Amino acid sequence: MRAVILFFLTVAASVFAVEVELTTDKIIVDEINLKSMFIGNVVIVKGADRLTADTAAVYFNKRQEPMRYEANGNVSAEIAINGKRYHASGENLLYDAAQNIYALSKNAFLEEIDTGRKIYGDMISVDQNNGAYTVDGSLEPAKFIFQIDDKR
């Protein structure tokens, strides 16, 4: 049976006033280790952001504030980063809420929707604090694809 969970994260609700909805086949809550697992057909919606994956985990601190999100298997997302809309995909996505960093890995892809700029790599890291992007192409060369107006 498909389980549906709708919850307000304490910090998100008080600081950002954003509702987070998670839909999945199975939920495992580990209150001792402060971890919630979502297994099978995971869909996470937070405002205009949407993420799908095979599995996901949310790690909390002792105040029940989410500290880290992990999504694994066929990850696809439409997210806002630094005020811009992106399509992201890969095998894994990690969001470190404390450091405000997204990291995509294994066949990582990031496209800025408005400009069509595309980045491919084994790992793509986005630091929202300073707007820095790091792309690692250790298995295959990293690629950056963009359009220019060539007016001569």
Reported as a single tens digit per residue, the pLDDT across 19-78 is 888 899 999 999 999 999 999 999 999 888 899 999 999 999 999 888 999 999 999 999
CATH code reported for the domain at 3-145: 2.60.450.10
Give the whole-angstrom CA distance, residue 120 versus residue 39.
27
pLDDT at residue 144, as a whole number: 55
Average pLDDT, whole number, for the chain? 82
- Both tokens assigned to 91: 């095998």
Looking at residue 152, its pLDDT comes to: 59
pLDDT category at 130 given cuts 50, 70, 90 is confident
The pLDDT of residue 140: 63
Query: How many Cβ atoms from other residues are within 10 Å of residue 14's Cβ?
Result: 10
DSSP secondary structure letter of residue 139: S
DSSP string of the chain? --EEEEE--HHIIIII---EEEEESEEEEETTTTEEEEEEEEEEEETTEEEEEEEEEEEE-TTS-EEEEEEEEEEEEEEEETTEEEEEEEEEEEEETTTTEEEEEEEEEEEETTT--EEEEEEEEEETTTTEEEEE-SSS--EEE-------
Q: How far apart are CA 101 and CA 86, in angstroms?
A: 15
Q: For the whole model, what pTM was predicted?
A: 0.77
